[in-house]
Amino acid sequence: MEIQEINDHIQWLIEQGITCEHIGELVSGLCERLIQDGFPIWRASIRMPSLHPMYRGVSASFVRGGATILENAEHGSETERNFEKTPIFYLLSRDERRGRWNLAKGEGLQYSELNEFAQAGGTDHVTSIFEFPKEVTLRGLGFSLTSDAPGGFSDGQLEVIEQLLPALGLAAYRVAVSKTATEILAVYTGAKTSARILSGETRRGMGGSINAAILLADLRDFTALTEAYEPAEIVGFLNEHFDLIDRHVEENSGEILKFMGDSVLAIFPTDAEDSKRACLAALASAKNLLKANEVLNSERTLDGGPDIGVDVVLHVGEVFYGNVGARGRLDFTVIGRAVNEASRLEKLCGTLGENLLMSESFAKTCTAASEYLGSFDLRGVSKRADVFRLADTAS
């Protein structure tokens, strides 16, 4: 291959690294270009580690004439457990950066993937590892090519691949960093909030007033559990209940903004003219998560685990939604009178023996059948609060 042709591929990789959205576009596009140049590529893949809390790594697999498949290897999955039985692990364990297996001669058949390729007609397999030396987490990538042609790849073709590898690594690195930043931020702040941050709302104090239905959920008597169970067990219980709450908040277009110990703060943004929709969404989330929590407890207690109740308070009002904090440590959250009132209302759940309470403003806005429980003083709030529960929960 001429130097100019190699440079054209390098230029293409750099351009794709700036514009493409996932590594699948890189591996498929590059392979199609090389196939046109006479490279006998049958299959190819890019594999990279991931920072996502649910996934150990990501991969994009190309097959000539077929679709490019994107996959995430979940923590604890069979893919993760079998990583030590792969060519990439073999190279990493030997501190080597390139390996080649002549499938036609029976090499590499101890690896299940290569064995499958060989049985399907594969003749040659090459894996190259490209490192990102100064990165702690995104350590590099593995790039694999498989041929089904007699004799496989020529030495000249593999030399071209080696010359293209730095540009491929640079392009994949840009895609991975962008995707990692987006995904991790969404995990820690929520999808809607992360979108606002990535759009440029990063300055301290930046934000504004919005109307929102507020859902505050708190695990009942959780402090006592910390005395009876080990920290690892406590974390497990928290994760089970938080996952349950998040699922039912998200399905109604709400978003969890904050985990505070054993409490969860979620909002359902709305405009002042359509507050009823947000309140009904918050109410549906509350009812569904309480039902799901009963199922979770019944399953856990069968195994001798604890029954953990959830108290939920619903409120609606105006809040400040934006960046709050110190110069070097910000939190994109909601603050304001409505948030403070919701927090104070939550304390009444135990006092009144109710696991779902609504403020007066929420009950009137959502128009669901409700029962007045009384007027109560809230610590730090000057006006007494009228409190309601759903009528269909009354004895």
pLDDT at position 117, please?
Answer: 96
pLDDT at position 272, please?
Answer: 62
pLDDT at position 395, please?
Answer: 42
Instruction: Tell me what the mean pLDDT of segment 204-220 comes to.
Output: 89
pLDDT tens digit sequence for 339-386: 888 989 988 998 899 999 999 999 999 988 999 999 988 887 878 888
Q: Which residues pair with 102 in a beta bridge?
A: 124
Closest CA relative to residue 204, chosen from 325, 319, 336, 320 = 325
Least confident of 177-186, 227-236, 248-257, 295-304: 177-186
Provide the 3-class DSSP secondary structure of residue 289: helix
Closest CA relative to residue 286, chosen from 185, 216, 334 = 216
Instruction: Tell me what the mean pLDDT of segment 265-293 comes to.
Output: 90
Q: Using CA atoms, how far apart are residues 172 and 337, in angstroms rounded to an integer?
A: 46
Q: Using CA atoms, how far apart are residues 240 and 246, in angstroms rounded to an integer?
A: 10
Domains, the chain, with CATH or none: 3-188 (3.30.450.40), 205-393 (3.30.70.1230)
Closest CA relative to residue 143, chosen from 100, 94, 108, 178 = 100
Kindly give, in sequence order, each residue whose CB lies less than 8 Å from that of residue 297, ignoring residues fewer than 6 positions away. 307, 308, 309
Exposed (0-12), middle (13-18) or buried (19+): which is 367, by Cβ within 10 Å? Answer: exposed
DSSP 8-state secondary structure symbol assigned to residue 1: -
Q: Using CA atoms, how far apart are residues 40 and 9, in angstroms rounded to an integer?
A: 17
DSSP 8-state secondary structure symbol assigned to residue 330: E
Percent of the chain topping pLDDT 70: 97
Q: Which residues pair with 144 in a beta bridge?
A: 45, 127
Cβ atoms of residues 293 and 227 within 8 Å: no
Q: Taking CA 320 as the corner, what is the angle to CA 318 and CA 324, rounded to the nearest 5 degrees?
A: 160
Instruction: Tell me what the mean pLDDT of segment 181-185 comes to.
Output: 80
Exposed (0-12), middle (13-18) or buried (19+): which is 327, by Cβ within 10 Å? Answer: exposed
Closest CA relative to residue 127, chosen from 148, 147, 149, 104 = 147
Instruction: Tell me what the mean pLDDT of segment 75-98 comes to.
Output: 83
Percent of the chain topping pLDDT 90: 57
pLDDT interval class at 394 (50, 70, 90):
very low
pLDDT at position 193, please?
Answer: 83
pLDDT at position 82, please?
Answer: 77
Residue by residue, DSSP assigns 33-97 as: HHHHTT----EEEEEEE---TTEEEEEEEEETTS--EEEEEETTSHHHHTGGGSHHHHHHHTT-S
Provide the 3-class DSSP secondary structure of residue 11: helix
Least confident of 259-263, 303-307, 332-336: 332-336
Residue by residue, DSSP assigns 306-322 as: ----EEEEEEEEEEEEE
Higher pLDDT, 11 or 179: 11
Cβ atoms of residues 126 and 91 within 8 Å: no
**Which tokens go with 163?**
């010359």
Q: Using CA atoms, how far apart are residues 156 and 77, in angstroms rounded to an integer?
A: 38
pLDDT interval class at 98 (50, 70, 90):
very high
Q: What is the pTM of this model?
A: 0.73
pLDDT at position 136, please?
Answer: 64
Closest CA relative to residue 107, chosen from 92, 88, 89, 87 = 87
Strand order in the sheet with 124-131: 69-74, 55-63, 43-49, 140-147, 124-131, 98-102
Q: Using CA atoms, how far apart are residues 143 and 4, in angstroms rounded to an integer?
A: 23
**Which tokens go with 153?**
């790849």
Mean pLDDT over each residue of the chain, to the nearest integer: 89
pLDDT tens digit sequence for 100-158: 999 999 999 999 999 999 999 999 999 999 998 777 667 889 999 999 999 999 999 99
